[in-house]
Chains A and B, each alone.
Chain A
């Protein structure tokens, strides 16, 4: 077997078992054996996420712990590897993320952020309970192509200070075509068409898939 392939296999198995120490060990041994930091990120960490997305789309039920761990390890490894890259990697796009106004649930956001870093997407975390005005102001300030809004309750997903208001502000300020909105969280999980009701451009069922969906949106605004 190609050495990179066996590294990826061992890394994937550790993720599946939510075994952080195991996954980090695989990475560190690979680096010691001469695998480049670039290959660790682009040929191990990223493909591991892609293969998880593929299994999920084929009906494999990844649990929350697995999403958490995938994001957590991807963050740790990417942050450790980037300073060791031979050249500073180019930024693939910029995103601002936060939870909707009135919503204090931060976990979904954290998982999504973790899944964006290895894609070289720069994320600005606006925290929890973020007003619609702040989402838009910060997106403009960061030159972000995507606003990502996490909402765990129905009233924060559908309410007048959530995504709907962000959309309205984007329209008012003529930013509608330049900045896309992506949403996620429990209510969307239970009602797959809800993202249309709140006038978002896209949604994602889980954190790992969110990384891919956001990357696709960035391509669309460029």
Chain B
């Protein structure tokens, strides 16, 4: 049987496999799978690993996740309060940085792998590696230095600091976030993650003008990525559009995969990438909640037809909302397997 890893390798190398890789990013849904509350589910690495393996098996898509929820990164940097919901992802409730003084005081842990807040994720990665290592790519989520402050102080205070605050304080914070990023990505690599989702909303010109993208976002991306390299790294702007920045990111960092926004034009994205990297065509999974069977199939078909020509393409989702009915998940995936079949085989 062809594995997800083989499909991905074929796509990266521009070869045909049985079908294109299909990435389905489910996280909170794992709790439903194990019949427990979201809060209980995220308390143990064993639970997350078990549900990840179970869901992949049940639906047949190609990737696995070590991500619990993004707020975990804030926990590594001192956040003690997470707001759990019964029908959605956990959120940071208490910001680590409330004043500029907290930026001076922020300490990046030397040893992430040894940090208590990282142990359950490590446990999850260990199980995933043991059960599916080498067969299904294991994804980890790492927030870029330029976006991490949003998790530590909130988007509001971060945008204020970035746009009208003191540059020295901004750069002090970014330096700490970049230091954290490099340590975190290394920890994930050492724990066996194959794919590293580099999440950077501020790498999109939906968020900042081109001038700030060039003057601030790009240099910090280089600081994040150049020391450790871009093996397995995926450029992802939190579902914000990124076609306008692909060229520059590719040139400056060499990142090999671009995970588009559902609001991006896929043909245009493919054209800019021009066969130099892998391109992810992404469905608007917020609409997946209400779409009919036909609407889902048409949309999957549209995405795949737009992106599959010329190869080096995968089909993917965002962070799938908990509210999507199981039937719609199946409809989407079956359509992706059907329309994503490689004709040459």
Contacts and interface: CB of A to CB of B under 8 A. Distances in A.
Nearest to A192: B287
B207 A72 contact: no
A165 interface: no
Contact of B284 (A17, A20, A190): A190
Interface string A63-75: 1111011001000
Contacts of A158: 289, 323
B132 interface: no
A63 B156 contact: no
B154 A154 contact: no
A107 interface: yes
Contact of B164 (A72, A106, A153, A190): A72
Contacts of B89: 153, 155
Contacts of A68: 159, 163
B68 to A, nearest CB: 16
B205 A105 contact: no
Contacts of A103: 91
Nearest to B213: A63
B151 to A, nearest CB: 11
B134 interface: no
Interface stretch (B4-12, B80-88, B118-126, B176-184): B80-88
Given A106-B156, A191-B286, A63 B88 contact: no
A74 to B, nearest CB: 14
Given A20-B164, A155-B323, A104 B91 contact: yes
A154 B321 contact: yes
B290 interface: yes
Contacts of A87: none
Contact of A65 (B85, B93, B212): B212
Given A107-B159, A156-B88, A63 B206 contact: yes
B88 A110 contact: no
Nearest to B241: A61
B286 A190 contact: yes
Contacts of A66: 209
Interface string B309-341: 000000000000111000000000000000000
B88 A65 contact: no
Contacts of A107: 154-156, 159
B208 A65 contact: yes
Contacts of B203: none
Contacts of A193: 290
A110 B159 CA distance: 11
A155 B209 contact: no
B155 A105 contact: yes
A53 B321 CA distance: 31
B163 A69 contact: yes
Contact of B154 (A63, A72, A104, A197): A104
B254 to A, nearest CB: 26
Interface string B204-221: 011111011000000000
B212 A154 contact: no
A18 interface: yes
Which residue, A69, A110, A153, A193, has most C-beta atoms of chain B within 10 A?
A153
Contact of B159 (A65, A129, A159, A197): A65
A106 B212 contact: no
A206 to B, nearest CB: 11
Given A156-B88, A197-B290, A104 B83 contact: yes
Interface in A13-32: 17-18, 20
A193 B155 CA distance: 26
A18 B211 CA distance: 10
Nearest to A65: B208
Contact of B322 (A17, A61, A154): A154
A102 B83 contact: yes
A129 to B, nearest CB: 8
B88 A20 contact: no
B323 to A, nearest CB: 6
Interface string B56-96: 00000000000000000000000000010101110111000
Contacts of A194: 286
Nearest to A16: B209
A105 B301 CA distance: 34
B262 interface: yes
Contacts of A72: 160, 163-164
Contacts of B286: 154, 187, 190-191, 194
Contacts of A153: 88-89, 91, 321
Contacts of B290: 191, 193, 197
Among all A-B residue pairs, the 8 with the closest Cβ atoms: A155-B88, A154-B321, A190-B286, A107-B155, A107-B156, A155-B87, A64-B207, A106-B156
Interface of B: 83, 85, 87-89, 91-93, 154-156, 159-160, 163-164, 205-209, 211-212, 239, 262-263, 284, 286-287, 289-290, 321-323
Interface of A: 17-18, 20, 61, 63-66, 68-69, 72, 102-107, 110, 129, 153-156, 158-159, 187, 190-191, 193-194, 197
5 contacts: A104-B154, A153-B89, A159-B85, A159-B87, A194-B286
